[in-house]
Structure 1
């Protein structure tokens, strides 16, 4: 470990894809269901790897001046190596998990804490057993704080990610109906997500807690910090505004379900002794990207697009908020199927249609085979996939409407924007 770390200190970072490797990086030859990184060792060396880490003997290796490290298991070594680096760095890590909103909280926190600290955060959705180690290995000595997002769809995964990243602080956004298939139901979700608070408790570390979340309060440790007081919210032109202390700002977020995310950012910012003015600036600077909760206008309509992820909890919250804010506008509501629900899939998709009816939504489109077994009013449309829905849109002239679009990433619902 020590000799590899000495090489790492002089390298240009870590890479696990030989096609993307830059000269001077260290190549870790990971394996997957359909690939074996060891087979690309020579390609990595040809592209300028300063060292490679393998768990298989490869014939005819063109070593050049590179170091080759043979280990028992590359993935395990990557994870242990990341922990080794985390301990060498030795500063503050904040762990974030939850069923919904963890990426938004991570990005809000990054923008807030960057106002006073050199801050590193998970890039994109690098939040699993590979992404978390890579996030840690991108921490530099100059960083003061790192924010590590942790995702999971089975019990035990958050525990493992905590053992890799060793967070000093943590926050669980919520416990929702996500990944029910893997967790085996809502009780499994609660148990799995709570592993972050369990780790913090075991290590005498600190939890940030939403005091209005009874599940979080029940499962958090004794050393916890609840949401700060004196924060008020308002809405203007569909966007969420917030006032606290002497600050009042309009965020780039929409939806009452974002209030807790903003509260978490303010609470954690204050805990790290940032002035309210800097916290406000950080929150105002955050603009959702990558089809996550974005609201904008095209030449024809007002669009709310959240096509990165969806589960029953997040979809219902977003839907109720949109109906409340835009009920006076003509509308089209487009929902993509919900994935990883297992035995709960049929009942949850039926429940979603019933919520649409309860909210008196007149024009609704449901996309995906997941809705095929649902009982659906004749006025609603069901399309097997996004391509079929896009074709149907081409025959319609939709102008002056509020268009709500939400669904799982695999549906690529953003393709519908071409006709909206």
Structure 2
């Protein structure tokens, strides 16, 4: 269905205020960083809490965008080749445009909501249905007030099914989403505590989410959540709805679902239309069984053949719904996004790909695009147009149909009939110093490409969820007064998370400043393309040349370091930025009150130095018992900083608060705050612990399972003793990886198949033994060292330390995997 720019007044409230040339709208964008340069694309300028899309129109115009929706007055004559549509509210316009697309969609639309499991149910359903029908599903976790309309835009006439997820965080939001999604079939996954703060009660939250299914004809839900059942049965037009309310617990239910654990998974017995159907699924945990039951009941309702369902279930566990960045061989990085191979998924992956500014050489490895509903000629013409915008160094095409790309794509292209032939080529032509996006349909087994190109490190992995970093960043930003800037600490290898990858993501999120401990850390960031201003907290005279060469800004904290840097910079013609550290009670680094007069004298004699910021550090903001002392520090800082501002005759940035300070002292925000460990989901004050998200998960694997007889010993110095017959697992992590030796003798615990397993004996350098007598496990099983549970704070408490130490002790030999969903 085509939408011309000239037709917008018939779809939206508002008017065209400039029409230079009518275009058929191909795609829509609300984020200027993701806008693809194409004269047929439409940018919708939205005013957000931190950014206003109208401020980026000039840049977008210069990059080739020619269609805009705005909701404030701008001088359109500055853009003589552009079209502008003026509306009262751009978000409402975005939703109305998506609603128009939905109204003209003739396939079956499935809507999914709930507290957890929405995305995985959506992806599993798509995988299960696409073996029979053409399926579209919303990209990743596009379930918000803007994410849903962006998803609906891609609905097309050739799709038999569309699967759209919807999430809300406060009252009234679902009514707007329901009005544009209008699902025929609904799945209500479950009800949990996420976003509780936005609703007066759990019952009301259940009721608000249920509004998505106001006009649905079929609704699938779990009756074991009474709030869900009650909310659904309070919807209007009950007589027109078919409720498929199933249960694991109520054996009187028409849809009583029984499960039986087996060696490689679980057998699920589901009654449907007076028949019992048994499916074998490859997992045993409750959450996955709940999610797959929703899927199976929908498939049965839609009449998919049982054999087709079971055959597809065999592959369901290996679906990876995350876009992961991994370290590759020969100084390469891999963006692994092989689970979703359609044009929309490719576009999302390319947007993420283009955000990685730290790499100059970029390579795309792509298979045939299957089941798009488009002819090969149209499909590969569109593909060529899209990837041409990315200025890639090389495109590798694998498959028989992608050869059509050669007709339309004129840049460097290498084609292979199958994955095996590419791997043979790669043996003699390995990639060097590149960012490589790997995206292929499952039948092409691109996992083998990832395995070949990935750097081989042992099985212990630190996973970092970039979406959760964004959540935590925005959580703290929401607590800042208007105009207060954010500096993020990426010292100590970004608290163990790998600094340049985190810094790149933070730059994309538009933070204001970065801070590192030493010049070498700042140099690495610059070498990886980071452009943000960077403060160096511990400069050394031997690093002054690096500071100047890489545009790094030193912290000056004493008369000695000031004089050294002033002497080095005295003959520089341009102004050089510095940051002044004041000691208000930490007594670590900084000018004290009695040194301010000498500091002013130094500043007067060194006009080549421009003070970018003045700051101090709270000594005890973690603990409420020291609130009085923190207040004294704040007052002292204010007094000293103001005297320096008066002396300078201009206003540098003033900052005092660290992560716990942001939580505890909103009145002391000044001009900027410094966000450190809070970004990674740890609130040392405990005030917001339940609202932050744990960013990192440290995982390893079981190397071997042993059966130990009573009286035998385990590990070095025979510290582990079997008081009775027991079973142990040796896991691939030790103190050389950062698993502290203090976790020996049962103090440390890891999670194996949902059950905590205590350390037995001493932690070794590369391995640790844990007791698994009552845990069903085998070699190769995954082990969670920390994550959602056990979490970093629990581990720190167990050995009487702080979460900072747990994170920063993780060895660099532990592979970091960055992902976004």
TM over 0.5: yes
Give how far 1:146 is off: 1.5
Aligned-partner SS, 1:48 = coil
Q: Select between 43-52 and 135-144 the one with higher mean Cα deviation.
A: 43-52
SS at match of 1:21: coil
**Match for 1:130 among 146, 165, 190?**
146
**Which structure 2 residue ranges, 5 or more long, are not aligned?**
12-20, 247-254, 271-275, 325-450, 469-680, 682-689, 695-700, 706-726, 734-747, 760-783
Whole-Å separation in 1 of the counterparts to 2:300 and 2:108:
15
- The verdict on how the C-alpha distance between 1:162 and 1:282 changes in structure 2, with shifts beyond 3 A counting, is farther
> For each residue in 1:12-42, what CA deviation from the matched residue of structure 2 results, as whole angstroms up to 9, or x when unmatched?
2111233432312111111212211122223
Q: For residue 136 of structure 1, report the CA deviation from its aligned partner.
A: 0.8
What's the counterpart of residue 58 of structure 1? Answer: 74
Q: Deviations over 1:103-155 (max 9, x none)?
A: 11111111122222221111111110000011111111222221111112223
8 A Cα contact 1:26 1:51, kept in partner = yes
The one of 14, 22, 35 aligned to 2:37: 22
Q: CA deviation at 1:361?
A: 4.3
Aligned-partner Cα distance in 2 for 1:273–1:114 = 14
Distance 1:50 1:240 in 2: 54
Q: Deviations over 1:186-206 (max 9, x none)?
A: x34x42243343442x42632
Q: 1:88 to 1:372 in 2, by over 3 A?
A: closer
- Equivalent in the alignment of 2:98: 82
State the match for 1:3 in structure 2. 7
Report the Cα distance in structure 1 between the residues aligned to 2:182 and 2:91, rounded to whole angstroms.
Answer: 18
Cα gap change, 1:267 to 1:367, in 2 (>3 Å): closer
Q: Give 1:258 deviation, angstroms.
A: 0.5
Structure 1 residues 277 and 229, CA gap change in structure 2 (3 angstroms): farther
2:729 is paired with a residue whose SS is coil
Residue 124 of structure 2 is matched in structure 1 by 108
Question: Given that residues 140 and 321 in structure 2 are in contact (C-alpha distance below 8 angstroms), is that contact kept between their aligned partners in structure 1?
Answer: no
- 1:394 matched to 2:424: no
* Structure 1 position 262, deviation (Å): 0.7
Equivalent residues of 2:43, 2:69 under 8 A apart: yes
Distance, in Å, in 1 between the alignment partners of 2:217 and 2:30 is 32
How far is 1:302 from its partner? 7.3
Pairing 1:296-315 to 2, within 5 Å after superposition:
300-301=458-459
List aligned pairs for 1:244-393, cutoff 5 A: 249-251=280-282, 255-286=285-316, 287-290=319-322, 300-301=458-459, 328-330=728-730, 361-362=757-758, 378-379=798-799, 382-384=802-804, 388-393=805-810
Of residues 17, 24, 27, the one that matches 1:13 is 27
**5+ residue gaps in structure 1?**
316-321, 334-352, 399-411
Count of matched residue pairs? 361
Contact 1:233 1:259 survives alignment (8 Å): no
Instruction: Give distance in 1, aligned partners of 2:56 and 2:158.
Output: 33
2:109 maps to which of 93, 116, 122? 93
Q: Does structure 2 conserve the Cα–Cα contact (< 8 Å) formed by 1:82 and 1:164?
A: yes
Is 1:234 matched with 2:261? yes
Q: d(CA) in 2 for partners of 1:40 and 1:148?
A: 30
The structure that has the greater radius of gyration is 2
- Pick from 191, 194, 199 the counterpart of residue 207 of structure 2: 194
Counterpart CA distance in 2 for 1:255 and 1:8 is: 54
2:730 and 2:245 map into 1 onto residues whose CA distance is: 40
Assess, with a 3 A threshold, how the Cα gap between structure 1 residues 8 and 198 changes in structure 2: closer, same or farther. farther
Superposition deviation, residue 375 in structure 1 = 11
User: Distance between the aligned counterparts of 2:796 and 2:70, measured in 1?
Assistant: 54
Distance in 1 between residues matched to 2:147 and 2:259, nearest whole Å: 36
Question: CA shift at 1:169, angstroms?
Answer: 1.9
3-state SS of 2:261 partner: strand
What is the alpha-carbon root mean square deviation over aligned residues?
4.6
Q: Do the aligned partners of 1:14 and 1:134 also contact (CA within 8 Å) in 2?
A: yes
Q: Residue 256 of structure 1: CA displacement? A: 2.8
Distance 1:359 1:15 in 2: 45
